[in-house]
Amino acid sequence: MSPDAVGNGALIPFSGETNDSLAVYPLHHGLARPISRVALSWSRGNSLRVSLFAEPSGSFDTGDGAKVIEVKLGGGDPEIDDADWRRIAYGSVAPFALLQSRRNSLSALSKSSYHLDWWEHVLQYSKDISSLLTGPKLAPNPIIEDPNEIVTKNEEPTCLKAAWELMEIFYVDKQSQAWLPEKLVDWLADYDSLFTSTQETIHGKLVDFQNDLVNIQVIEDDPRYWEVMSSALSVGWLDIVVKMLRLHGSYQIDQLSKRELENGLVEAVAVLISKMPRLRPESAAGNLGECFKSKPDFTKAWEKWRSQITKLDCSPYWIQCDNQQTREGLRNMLQVMLGNTENLCTASCYWIELYVSHFLYIRPFTTGIESMYNLAQKCIQLKTPTGTHRLTGLMIGILAENTEVVIAEISREFGPWMVAHAVELLTSGSEEAEILLHDERYNLGGISMVELHRLAYAQVLSSHALTWQIAPIYLTSCMKQGMGLLENLLYRQSVQHNNLLLKNIEICRLYELDHISSNIMKVAGVYHWKHGRKGAGVFWLQQSQDTNCLDRIAQQLFDSVGKSISDESFKQWEGLIELLGSESKPAGGLEFLHKYRDFKKSLQMVYSGKSTDAARQAVGSLILLMKNPSTPQRFWLPLLFDSLKLLNWKDSPLLSVSETNLLLNKLQELSLARQRPHFTEPNLPPQALSSIRLALATNLGRAILDE
């Protein structure tokens, strides 16, 4: 395992066994001085932010003093790039959600969790997922077919898809259980090339041979021609073998010597190969071989076919064929078809190829996973692997029927996406795996392995800005701890961007997380309030029904009563009173604030226009305010001080005698109140009280004269 790549899946959480050899990864920082301190912070999901601080140096221009590095842990399969991963992540949401909803509706219908046709739903799911895993398309096939083109492929195979299909074959596709060996043959045909990375393969040999083909004069004289053909034959690539046989020199018309007999033998083998009976419903269009669905039919055809091979093998024509290469090559192929272990062993490159050849030529009736496992053991002994491939571990785990090993393998090699989605395959129809994976464990904090792996996958999704929004789908399928993690995830989303904020609130609404959305809205409210967007602040605080903060804001509005405020801030203040509305709890206080706003408004008109009408209106408001019992006593003096201009109105006294008396009485009350403890002096100039008294007295005098 390369310690350089953190993303290679080595940090997949929750492997079954404990690794004794600890993986140590370098963290490159490029700082010149030694590190004196490290700080950690988990970001969302499984991304860890590490700050590395260098020892401070005396002079201040010695370059960077610290680095902040983000490390994403356990990303998954290095074979697939980030963008492709996201495509797969998004694509798998719908099949996953559909399967969950089917499970829920089925379990609502009946108590038993085991359904006979459940595997059909899982198969559909498996096919949907599998279609996502298709690698990048290669260049389209040329229009004019190259006769020398032996190996063709339309897409780049990926280990991920190979692993997925392997699990589908063994766990899900119940219909094909009877011809499971043939499924393996097809699987190997699709994915043999993947093994080329760690060992020699038949596919690799074929490709090499094809590359050399143009340089070969007489193909049948090249020993590799025969070698490659018997290899391809051993794993059942009949089309390729027949195509290669037809490249044999004896087919060419301009022959120097008579080669009819030789050609006849080549063609006889080609015919036998194309007539090979296969125990399978049908093969892909155009593929050679004869398919039989039922065992008796197949057995009959198989016996007949083998007797034809034996007959040809004993034929006297071989002696008359004077091309030794052709004779030996063809007879070797007949031995492969007759299932000669030695020939099969030589023809195949590694144990899975040998394994598949056993199914084709020796034991086409192998059934039962146990005998398949024993056969695999035998093949491994015959062909000791030179290197380990990520797919072989999985295959052995499947054959050994060890669900834990399978989980550990796919988790280590393919990452959390694979495990979270593949557990559906593992549990389909196997009650044993179902119990193992759905059993709630105290050691895991009371959750099942299925839930654990979904949580782990959701963590991976959460750590990326483009995928966190699909994490809730997986989290809500977790019965025990999904909601808890979802709450933490939502709580950690920034409220600064309105779009994101609305999205978060929408997710909360979908999953009925009212307390979280209320919290998010409160955070948004305080954020806007503190950042000077008071209106947005009040709006969000109201949405979150945070009476605590709203009360405080109302209180702050009270505090500006009586202070001279600029037009600008008055507008803001007025807007806030509007926003707070009358629904807010301190209703009495707000009633006052609304009245005070009216008073302030007309007072401003007085200051700007000096119209007596406006002044009269202002006086009306003032009297209303002073009469109203909800007007706090502490505001009386500031209100009167604000109204000094009205009290001293030049043209005529604006207040009647009784009105003036009311105000004077209030002043009297105030001077009594001042004797009591806890009285707070309003923040007014020292001469305020006397100037109010004087103004009121003057007004009273003028009013008496007027009446």
Partner 1 sequence: MAKELLSLDNGTICSSWNYSDTRLATGSIDGTLSIFDLRDSTSSTSNSLRSTFKTKVHEGNIVKIVWLLPEYGDAVACISADGIVSLLEEIVEDSKPLQWKLCKTFGSSASKVLDVQFGISLSRLKMVAAYSDGHVRVFELLDPLELTNWQLQAEFQNVIESVSSFGKALSLSASISLNPQKGGSQESSFLVGFNSNTPELNSSKVWEFDQAHQRWLPVAELALSEDKGDQVYAVAWAPNIGRPYEIIAVATHKGLSIWHLGLNPDHTGRLSVERVALLSGHEGAVWQMEWDMSGMTLATTGDDGMVRLWQSNLNGVWHQQAAFEPTS
Residues 542 to 561 in contact with partner 1, rule: CB under 8 A: 548-549, 552-553, 556
Termini Cα distance of the chain: 104
CA distances to 100, 378, 459, 490, 705 from 456, rounded to whole Å, are 18, 37, 5, 17, 88
- Is residue 14 a contact residue for partner 1 (CB under 8 A)? yes
Rg (CA), the chain: 43
**3-class secondary structure per residue, 621-645:** HHHHHHHCCCCCHHHHHHHHHHCHH
For 386, half-sphere exposure in the C-beta direction (CA atoms, 13 angstrom radius) is: 9
- Pick between residue 64 and residue 669 the one whose CB is nearest to partner 1: 64
Q: Out of 362, 380, 526, 688, which residue is the one contacting partner 1 (CB under 8 A)?
A: 526
Residue 35 found at the interface with partner 1 (CB under 8 A): yes
Binding-site string for partner 1 from residue 492 to residue 511, where x marks contact by CB under 8 A and - marks none: xxxxxx-xx-----------
Residue number with CB closer to partner 1 (488 or 628): 488
Selected from 1, 32, 218, 673, the binder of partner 1 by CB under 8 A is 32
Taking the complex as a whole, the smallest distance from the CB of residue 561 to partner 1 amounts, in Å, to 17
Burial class (CB in 10 A: 0-12, 13-18, 19+), 686: exposed
39 binds partner 1 (CB under 8 A): yes
Nearest to partner 1 of 19, 611 (CB atom): 19
Structure tokens at 338: 């007759």
Cβ closer to partner 1: 337 or 524? Answer: 524
Q: With the C-alpha atoms ordered 402, 404, 405, 411, is the resulting torsion angle positive or negative?
A: positive
Which member of 38, 151, 624, 704 binds partner 1 (CB under 8 A)?
38
**DSSP at 16:** S
Residues across the chain: 707
Quick one: which segment of 102-110, 412-420, 475-483, 573-581 binds partner 1 (CB under 8 A)?
475-483
Contact between 700 and 654 (Cβ < 8 Å): no
Cβ distance to partner 1 smaller for residue 355 or 558 = 558
Identified binder of partner 1 from the candidate list 527, 612, 648, 667, rule CB under 8 A: 527
Selected from 24, 139, 144, 705, the binder of partner 1 by CB under 8 A is 24
Contacting range for partner 1; rule: CB under 8 A; set: 22-30, 220-228, 362-370, 622-630: 22-30
Q: Which residue's structure tokens are 């959701």?
A: 458
Burial class (CB in 10 A: 0-12, 13-18, 19+), 216: middle
The answer to the question of residue 306 lying near partner 1 (CB under 8 A) is no
513 lines the binding site for partner 1 (CB under 8 A): no
Tell me which of 233, 356, 523, 700 binds partner 1, using CB under 8 A: 523
Task: For partner 1, give the closer residue by CB, 224 or 438.
Answer: 438
- Tokens 């697939």, residue? 80
Q: Which two tokens stand for residue 27?
A: 């963290």
Q: Which residue's CB is nearer to partner 1, number 37 or number 300? A: 37
Stretch that binds partner 1, among 16-24, 92-100, 132-140, 168-176 (CB under 8 A): 16-24
Size of the site for partner 1 (CB under 8 A): 109
Instruction: Tell me how crowded residue 348 is: count the other CB atoms within 10 A of its CB.
Output: 25
Please name the residues in contact with 175: beta carbons below 8 A apart, sequence gap of 6 or more.
none
648 part of the interface to partner 1, by CB under 8 A: no
Tell me whether residue 72 or residue 275 sits nearer to partner 1 (CB atom): 72
Question: Which position has the token pair 């280990």?
Answer: 159
SS3 330: helix
Instruction: Tell me if 326 sits within 8 A of 265, measured CB to CB.
Output: yes
Nearer CB in complex with partner 1: 342/568: 568
305 is written with which tokens?
């076919």
Place of tokens 């040998």: 354
Please report how close the Cβ of residue 537 comes to partner 1 at its closest, in angstroms.
Answer: 9
CB of 497 to partner 1, least distance (A): 6
The correct pick among 529, 573, 592, 599 for binding partner 1 (CB under 8 A) is: 529
Minimum Å distance from CB 605 to partner 1? Answer: 24
* Secondary structure E strands in 256-387: 277-279, 290-292
DSSP H or E run through 38: strand 35-42
Is the Cβ–Cβ distance between 119 and 172 less than 8 Å? Answer: yes
Residues 399 and 377: beta-carbon distance below 8 Å: no
| Interface of this chain with partner 1, residues 424 to 463, rule: CB under 8 A | 441-447, 449, 452, 455, 459, 462
Site for partner 1 in 169-228 (CB under 8 A): none
Applying CB under 8 A, which part among 27-35, 119-127, 208-216, 620-628 lies near partner 1? 27-35
Count Cβ atoms within 10 A of the Cβ of residue 565 and give its class: 0-12 exposed, 13-18 middle, 19 or more buried.
Answer: middle
The least CB distance from residue 71 to partner 1, in Å, is 5
**DSSP per-residue codes, 167-232:** HIIIII-GGGGGGHHHHHHHHHHHHGGGGGGTS--HHHHHHHHHHHGGG-SSGGG-HHHHHHHHHH
Instruction: Decide: is 532 part of the binding site for partner 1 (CB under 8 A).
Output: yes
Q: Which CB sits closer to partner 1, 16 or 575?
A: 16
Residues from 569 through 588 that contact partner 1 (CB under 8 A)? 569
| Distance of closest approach, residue 494 Cβ to partner 1, in angstroms | 4
Q: Which of residues 63-122 bind partner 1 (CB under 8 A)?
A: 63-73, 75
Cβ 290 to partner 1 shortest distance, Å: 49
